[in-house]
Structures are given as structure tokens and as C-alpha cells.
């Protein structure tokens, strides 16, 4: 069974909002750093945000700062991406991801999203932004 299951994608107009959810099964999300990535047609996958709650690191790509918020609810074993003021260039398939906290060998999401190395991926959910 897929260990990360995503919900919440859909069609919105520019300026609209969506909240993506990603529920973990078979593992304890509290023991993981979390991230969101996206891939637009014809483009490479890019990191959108990451959150290392254990060590206190959070990063967003510049294009979504002030508009997107990454968060988690460990009691529900679920991570979220709140997306506000959506733009056409935000349209993509969005993927949630999780990286296990280590024992000091490396620090997830330390200096940027490039420091996040996913151990598990969601199946992807389509976000379409169109008038």
C-alpha cells in the first residue's frame, strides 16, 4: 500500500485557494521531516517547501513565499500545503514527501529544499489554475 496518500487537488481560478492534504500510513509522520514538490507539464520536478520540525528549519521557493504554507498535524499523521492567491504558473502535479530524521548524519531542510531527501512520496494530485 502507498505510504503517503494525497487529497485536495482541483481546479481553481487565479487568486483562489486550495488546501492539499497528505496522510501517512504505516509510519509515524512525527519522526519525519516533510516536503512538498510539484511538476508542471514539460518541466522538471521542483521543491516547493520543506519543514524540519525537529531542528527548526523551514524553506519555500521564492515564487510561493507569502502565498503557500506548509504544516503538519502529527496527531492525525497528516501534512498540509495551504495555497492562497494561486497563479497560473502554480499549475502542476503536487507531490508530498517525507524524510526520516537521522541521528546527526545529516540535517533535513537545513539550508534549503535541496537539503531535503525524500524517503517516501505521495502519488501526486493535480492542481489546475485557470480562468
**31 has pLDDT over 70:** yes
pLDDT band per the 50, 70, 90 thresholds, residue 102: confident
Asked if 22 contacts 96 with a C-beta cutoff of 8 angstroms, the reply is yes
pLDDT at 104 over 80: no
Residue 64 has pLDDT above 90, yes or no: yes
Displacement of CA 58 from its chain's centroid (Å): 11
Query: Is the per-residue pLDDT at 114 higher than 80?
Result: yes
Per-residue pLDDT, averaged over 21-35, amounts to 96
**35 DSSP β-pair partners:** 50, 97
Query: Given a cut of 90, is residue 117 above it in pLDDT?
Result: yes
Residue 1: the pLDDT is 66
What letters, b where the CB count within 10 A reaches 16 and e where it falls short, cover 26-64? eeebeebbbbbbbeeeeeeeebbbbbbbeeebebbbeeb
Q: How far apart are CA 41 and CA 64, in angstroms?
A: 19
Is it the case that residue 68 has pLDDT exceeding 70? Answer: yes
* Residue 42 CB contacts under 8 Å (≥ 6 apart), including other chains: none
Report the chain's mean pLDDT, rounded to a whole number. 96
Strands 32-39, 10-12: pairing kind = unpaired
Averaged over 5-28, what is the pLDDT?
97
What share of residues in the chain are helix, strand, coil (percent, to 5)?
Answer: 10, 45, 40
Residue % of the chain over a pLDDT of 70? 98
**pLDDT tier for residue 36 given thresholds of 50, 70 and 90:** very high
Amino acid at each position: 500500500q502507498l505510504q503517503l496518500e494525497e487529497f485536495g487537488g482541483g481546479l481553481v481560478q487565479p487568486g483562489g485557494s486550495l488546501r492539499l492534504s497528505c496522510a501517512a500510513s504505516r509510519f509515524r509522520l512525527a519522526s519525519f521531516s516533510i516536503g512538498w514538490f510539484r511538476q508542471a507539464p514539460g518541466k522538471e520536478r521542483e521543491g516547493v517547501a520543506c519543514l524540519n520540525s525537529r531542528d527548526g528549519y523551514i524553506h519555500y521557493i521564492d515564487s510561493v513565499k507569502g502565498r503557500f504554507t506548509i504544516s503538519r498535524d502529527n496527531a492525525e499523521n497528516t501534512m498540509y500545503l495551504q495555497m492562497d492567491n494561486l497563479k497560473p504558473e502554480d499549475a502542476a502535479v503536487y507531490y508530498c514527501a517525507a524524510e526520516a530524521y537521522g541521528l546527526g548524519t545529516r540535517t533535513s531542510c537545513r539550508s534549503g529544499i535541496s537539503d531535503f531527501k525524500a524517503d517516501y512520496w505521495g502519488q501526486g494530485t493535480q492542481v489546475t489554475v485557470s480562468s
